[in-house]
Amino acid sequence: MFIFELMNSSLDTAKHQGQRKLLIDRLAGMGISDQKVLDAMLQVPRHWFMDPGLESHAYDNKAFPIAADQTISHPYTVAFQSELLEVKRGDQVLEIGTGSGYQTAVLLTLGIKIYTVERQQELFKKTKRLFSKIHLHPKKVIFGDGYLGLADDAPFQGIVVTAGAPSVPKPLLQQLDVGGRLVIPIGTEEQIMTRFTRISEKEFNKETFGTFRFVPMLKDKN
Ligand code: SAH
């Protein structure tokens, strides 16, 4: 399935595709080894998720501003978090921090059922409109506070937080399926990428994977 075929191919030109291929090769060179993640990122036109004024930079391995003082994550970070989730087709995944929708699109392309939550109203509306325009269909796109997770739709085989959390929100651990993984950057100034795997009802395995910089995970809606 190639969901983006629905769009006019002129909006994803050979030049875009060539730049994207170079970016994906670079990510592989930086250590991203999950071929499914690389293939998904090769399919998703990142420039659709960015301000048109920044289109020529869409395939730079950099974060860029989107609306409401937020950022679209580095491609490397998107790849790294997607890889750590170790999702398989049909899994149910919760994303906290929809932002531009780029990571949502990558996860959808991996064939998973995605629920995504954004606390910032302007971004939520903008990205929801974009999803319908490009025929992307997450299971749910929610305006809400990700600190609470999404109890009604739990359990999730994967949860990914795309903003820096000062500590791990307990509801997110509770909403993980046994065997499921929560990938969350933890810290204030900078964050340590952390993965919690639920190994039983009461036990979690915690692993850490280096330092990153995210916009902060904030409480309540705005
Ligand atoms: N993956 C996104 C990252 C966007 S930046 C992308 O690549 O575009 C992180 C996003 O998390 C921002 O949009 C911010 O508004 C959102 N966010 C921060 N705290 C949140 C919370 N408590 N609940 C939901 N979203 C939150």
Residue 99 host element (H or E)? none
**pLDDT reading at 8 higher than 60:** no
Q: Domain containing 85: what range?
A: 9-212
- Supply the mean pLDDT for the chain: 94
Instruction: Find the mean pLDDT for residues 83-96.
Output: 96
Question: Annotated catalytic, 73?
Answer: yes
Say what the pLDDT of residue 4 is.
57
Share of residues in the chain with pLDDT > 70 (%): 95
Give 215's contacts (C-beta < 8 A, 6+ positions apart): 69, 70, 71, 163, 164
Distance CA 148, CA 89 (A): 26
CA of 14 to the centre of ligand 1 (A): 31
In a domain, 196, yes or no: yes
In a domain, 118, yes or no: yes
Distance CA 84, CA 104 (A): 15
In a domain, 126, yes or no: yes
> Which entry of 33, 73, 100, 167 is annotated as an active-site residue?
73
Say what the pLDDT of residue 52 is.
87
Say what the pLDDT of residue 10 is.
55
When divided into structural domains, the chain yields a total of 1
97 lines ligand 1 (CB under 6 A): yes
In a domain, 146, yes or no: yes
In a domain, 217, yes or no: no
CA of 205 to the centre of ligand 1 (A): 25
Instruction: Find the mean pLDDT for residues 34-57.
Output: 94
**pLDDT reading at 120 higher than 90:** yes
46 lines ligand 1 (CB under 6 A): no
Give 79's contacts (C-beta < 8 A, 6+ positions apart): 27, 32, 37, 38, 41
In a domain, 220, yes or no: no
In a domain, 221, yes or no: no
CATH number at residue 104: 3.40.50.150
Which of 106, 159, 162, 188 gets mutated to test ligand 1 (max ligand atoms within 8 A of its CB)? 162
